[in-house]
Chains A and B, each alone.
Chain A
Amino acid sequence: MEGVDQLSAASIVAGIVAGDFSATEVARASLAAIDAREPHVRAFLQVSADLALEAAAATDARRAAGEPLGPLAGVPVAFKDNLHLVGTRTTCASRMLQDYESPYTATCVQRLLDAGATPMGKTNMDEFAFGSSTENSAFCRTRNPWDVSRVPGGSSGGSAAAVAAGEVTLTLGSDTGGSIRQPASFCGVVGMKPTYGAVSRYGVVAFGSSLDQVGPFGRSVADVALAMNALVAPGKDKLDSTSQAVAPGFLDGLDVPLARMRVGVIPALMEHESLSAEVREGLTAASAALEGQGAQLVEVDLPHMAAAIAAYYVIGPCEAFSNLARFDGVRFGYQEPGCATLAEQTSWSRARGFGAEAKRRQLLGAYLLASGVYDAYYYPAQQVRTLIVSDYATAFRRCDALLLPTAPTTAWHLGEVSDPTQMYASDLFTISSNIAGNCGVSVPVGLGADTGMPLSAQLQGPAFDDAKLLRIARALERGVEAAGRYAPGTVARLHGVTKEEVWPA
């Protein structure tokens, strides 16, 4: 079967239901695409061919038996490697968990499997999700499928690249400060960070528990909506006490433009000094596209936005420090051999198991939580959080969603950004929605005139208005397509591939 990368998730399901092709054929086509493109992209840490063919065979058997098929029947999916799936390792792209077999299956993963999806494997990421380029992986550097000399963004870079390269149809990532939206932007795909609590975090190796949220990548808003339906059904996960019930109505009226749609813009951010010229151009085009779909643009403000990044780099490391404390080499993960004492074993296992950025964040957290320091940072950071929540509440009284940049620039070259604080600054426009816990989505709006790389715009909506946010995202996608700038379903072109690229390296 050719051209599986040209099909939407819905058309794969429809084709299998109609008998045009089987789930096994789709799985084999996905495996073939992975074989062909992985040497250049390196989006995957593991390809689970056996699990995939087994699941596809089960889907085909269900159809043969006349049983109803799930809403994602036979759709090839992959998971960021911080999500547990029994039968695969969950490495978090860290030496610490290099050989760690998933002890159970994450709720979000299980829900896609329950919907009939075919699990193709686990995707690369920044170690424990610390980073914005996937260069912090302990195992390999994933390339941007649009230009393999560039990064895919991060931390969910593998998930974004696998979808952009047409290797699979949907992937899951996690977004703690922009880790779904920014790589979606870099790779020219749709990436959604749902409202905090909309998707269960059970089985997601935690980075920042109050910030983490799992969400889907797809090549169109409709594919992402289909994945969201599966992620929220059948209701609240009783294993995650911070999760809430959300109705699976993401496809309802998705194509119907919202009546009296109001989209808020923040002039200071739309013209922010950090934005490259092509990103600005993309935002102007996005505004025009939305207006073309009937949206009224209104000026709003998030006055404390600048403080969000500071609050994030307090709260994130504090939570990471305690979430990663369990990796001590005693019960699981890397254990330094030959230590004489427990303290030595803990220290050396952590020293050798964690990479530089993972250590940096944990040290930062350990410092920020120390007595005498805590009051000066952690508490003010929580106050900032309250201010940002109230900023959003004020803004959303005047509009249905906000239009923002996703990232200040298009994807940069591998190794180009080495200063961590410069890397942190690239999250400026995404972090505030993690701080506030509301929803955001990145939508491709064209290719940059200077770099030729994908441009995106970000939409953010009020908490638990995820379905409405996707309707507005769909309007943007439609407007962008109508303007001839970018078509949903676009697969990256693997620019810059040279013959000496081999895998494994």
Chain B
Amino acid sequence: MRRLQEVLRDWEAVIGLEVHTELTTLQTKMFCDCRICHDDPPNTNVCPVCLGLPGALPVPNRRAIEYIVMAGLATNCHIQRHSSFYRKHYFYPDMSKNYQTTQGPVAFCMHGHLDLEVRGQGAQERPDATADKNEDGSYVAPIRILRIHMEEDAAKMVHVGGSEGRITSASESLIDYNRCGTPLIELVTEPDLRTPEEARLFMEKLRRTFMALGISDCSLESGSMRCDGNVSIRRRGTTGFGVKTEMKNLNSFKSLHDALAYEICRQAEVLEAGGAVRQETRHWEPSRRRTMVMRVKETADDYRMYPDPDLAPFDLSDEFVQQCRDRVPELPDARRDRYMAELGLSRKAAEQIAGDPATARFFEQAVRLAPRAASMVANVVVNMLPAMQAVTPEQTASIAELLAAEAITFAQAREVLGLADGTNEDPRRIVDERGLRQSTDADALAKTVDEVLERCPDQVRQYRDGNKKVVGFLVGQCMKASRGTGNPKLFNQLLLKRLST
């Protein structure tokens, strides 16, 4: 098979995503009072409503409606004041009523969009001529969202006996209704995505956004956020749609990207050999790095949808929508841009901090205490805190200020934080008590430099042969020799001086 980038020069991929997100941060299910906790013993969080027992009736969860409206507002959707729940019929035991309560032609949220900033390596998947690219090759891809609707999740089925846990070979199937009735929002994009990278970025941005809203734990791995990809290809320059296939089991960003990339190449191979793509659902097998046919769709399913008579239509008031709007926090991309513009953070650090609501909260608390050391706070948060257990924003601010004042080295900072971790100790006191100070004693440092140069004749020769980068290695050796106490800038200056003579 040809490589993706090659294929995409001749063919244009048309990709649409369907993203299911469980509202895991809610206390109770969509239509009953049962707790949302899938890990409890099977069939313990169930009641007549989610078990679909005869005579039981659904009562909507108000908070779930708030959450989907917040999701709609955060993705620039029109919030539909008038919408209703529908019944979608299919016979399968994972749906206790043999119909799923979902929404009809009008969903709570319609016609939104997210703009993707595609940069770096991934931007090269899209041939330059097909996007309005910047000088660095980056471009913005506006992706329209068709709708976000509310529905209930199905039960979990476990197929026992036989291989691979697949139903076909199982001797019996067990059903756990703990998950049945969990509120689920389904977002459907327009077929606006053109590369696997764009699909991956969309999914990442959506996940960041939903995390910031606090409506779900958004775990692709555990399946609280699930994505299906629809893809077809067409010759560059044409506008019709090819036959699409649907991709399942995309439970990581990498799987999403790689499955789409594989499928685009596979379809191109089929079409270039004069064959035809079949409309089918395919399963991504990450270990074999390929997609396999799950089922072929010959006829469209008839779900016999009609408005659920047990649930009155919704008329959302202006007040309700405003309340939801008030609860939408600053979103990660806006926050990232603000960190870059106002605090002077690097794009990478800003993105990393802004992308996680808890980290962002922590960071902003620390910055309030050390407003002039913001980028050093970011540095500590990104590079040191992941290894710590329970460092406070106050401790972080102190360390950042010490670092900004060049009073201690990074190695010392790491050591001090390790000591302060889990205590209320002020890092300044630890520094004072232990006499941990960055050494700026030029004579002592010069002595260390001489020792290092003596031990590393090869690197010295390399430097003199023109490999200037080797200085970094030598600075590292000096830091090591000084047990992390030397000022790296001074080491650098001293080294350059010695090497140039």
Contact = CB atoms under 8 A, between A and B. Distances in A.
A332 interface: yes
Interface stretch (A187-195, A202-210, A409-417, A484-492): A202-210
A84 B48 CA distance: 12
Nearest to B47: A104
Contact of A370 (B48, B54, B302, B312): B302
Given A321-B304, A322-B304, A241 B96 contact: no
Contacts of A328: 91, 93, 98
A499 interface: no
B167 to A, nearest CB: 9
Interface class of chain A by DSSP: loop
B52 A331 contact: yes
Nearest to B87: A322
A239 B56 CA distance: 8
Interface string B288-313: 00000000000010101110111110
A472 interface: no
Contacts of B99: 322, 325
B54 A326 contact: yes
Contacts of A202: 55-57
Contacts of A82: 55
B309 A210 contact: yes
Interface in A202-259: 202-206, 208-210, 238-242
A306 interface: no
B29 to A, nearest CB: 14
A331 B56 contact: no
Interface string A47-91: 000000000000000000000000000000000001110000010
A475 interface: no
A371 interface: yes
A165 interface: no
B35 interface: no
B304 A241 contact: no
A7 interface: no
Contacts of A322: 87, 89, 97-99, 304, 306
Interface in A365-380: 366, 369-371, 374, 378
A346 interface: yes
B306 A378 contact: yes
Contacts of A471: none
A331 B57 contact: no
Contacts of B302: 370-371
B304 A204 contact: no
B60 interface: yes
Contact of A342 (B87, B93, B304, B309): B93
A494 B185 CA distance: 60
Contact of B48 (A104, A210, A371): A104
Interface of A: 82-84, 90, 92, 97, 100, 103-104, 106, 201-206, 208-210, 238-242, 318-319, 321-322, 325-328, 330-332, 342, 346, 366, 369-371, 374, 378
27 contacts: A83-B55, A84-B54, A84-B55, A90-B55, A103-B48, A106-B55, A205-B54, A206-B54, A206-B310, A209-B310, A239-B57, A241-B57, A241-B311, A242-B57, A242-B312, A322-B98, A322-B99, A325-B97, A326-B54, A327-B54, A328-B93, A331-B51, A331-B52, A331-B93, A342-B93, A369-B89, A369-B306
Given A206-B54, A325-B99, A328-B93, 12 more contacts: A104-B48, A106-B55, A206-B55, A206-B310, A210-B309, A321-B304, A325-B89, A330-B93, A369-B89, A369-B306, A374-B306, A378-B306
